C-alpha cells in the first residue's frame, strides 16, 4: 500500500537498523526527484522508546526536507535529541545509520 496517495511503491525506500544492545529502527522514506534530492516523506517505526511518544512526529517533521547526506541528517537528529525528550534503546548515531540505510 502506498504510504501517501500518488506515490508509487517504487519510490519508497526502506532501511532497517538494529542498534547494538538496543532496539530496531525501521525507516521508510520517499525522496524528491531532482538533482539534489531531499526527504519528501518519512516514517520511523520500531520497538524503541521515546518519551513523550508524540515527539516522534516532531523528529519526522524535522527530517522532512533534509538533504540525503550524513552531516545534514546528523545535525537534525542531534537538534531533536537536545530537546526535551528521552529516547531509550537507540542514540543519535543509530537513527542516522538507519536513515542512511534507507538513502
Partner 1 sequence: MAKQEWRLLLTGDMSAFDNMALDEAILRCAVAGASPSTLRFYGWKPSAVSIGYFQGIEQEVDLDVCREQGVDVIRRLTGGGAVFHEHGSEITYSLAVKDDYPGIPKKVLDSYTLLCAGLVAGFRQLGLDAEFKPINDILVNGKKISGNAQTRRFGGILQHGTLLCDVNLQLMFSLLKVPSEKIRDKLIAGVEERVTSIRREIGMADNDVVIQAMVAGFAEVLDIRLSPGTVSDEELALLERVKEERYANPTWNFKR
How far from the centroid of its chain's Cα atoms is residue 53's Cα? 15
84: Cβ contacts below 8 Å, ≥ 6 apart: none
Asked whether position 89 contacts partner 1 by CB under 8 A, the answer is yes
Region from 4-12, 46-54, 66-74, 95-103 binding partner 1, contact rule CB under 8 A: 46-54
User: Quick check: 53 binds partner 1 (CB under 8 A)?
Assistant: yes
**CB distance 39 to 31 below 8 Å:** yes
Burial class (CB in 10 A: 0-12, 13-18, 19+), 3: middle
Q: Residue 47 interacts with partner 1 (CB under 8 A)?
A: yes
If binding is defined by CB under 8 A, does position 88 make contact with partner 1? yes
Total interface residues for partner 1 by CB under 8 A? 21
Told to check if 2 binds partner 1 by CB under 8 A, we report no
Binder among 45, 61, 78, 79 for partner 1 (CB under 8 A): 45
Choose one: 32-40, 48-56, 63-71, 91-99; the region binding partner 1 (CB under 8 A).
48-56
The answer to whether 26 and 44 have CB atoms below 8 angstroms apart is: yes
Amino acid at each position: 500500500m502506498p504510504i501517501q496517495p500518488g506515490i508509487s511503491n517504487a519510490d519508497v525506500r526502506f532501511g532497517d537498523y538494529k542498534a547494538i544492545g538496543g532496539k530496531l529502527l525501521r525507516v521508510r522514506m520517499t525522496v524528491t526527484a531532482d538533482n539534489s534530492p531531499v526527504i519528501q516523506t518519512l516514517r520511523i517505526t520500531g520497538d524503541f522508546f521515546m518519551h513523550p511518544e508524540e515527539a516522534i512526529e516532531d523528529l519526522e517533521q524535522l527530517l522532512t526536507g533534509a538533504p540525503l547526506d550524513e552531516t545534514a541528517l546528523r545535525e537534525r537528529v542531534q537538534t531533536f535529541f537536545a530537546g526535551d525528550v528521552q529516547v531509550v534503546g537507540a542514540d543519535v548515531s543509530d537513527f542516522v545509520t538507519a536513515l542512511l540505510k534507507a538513502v
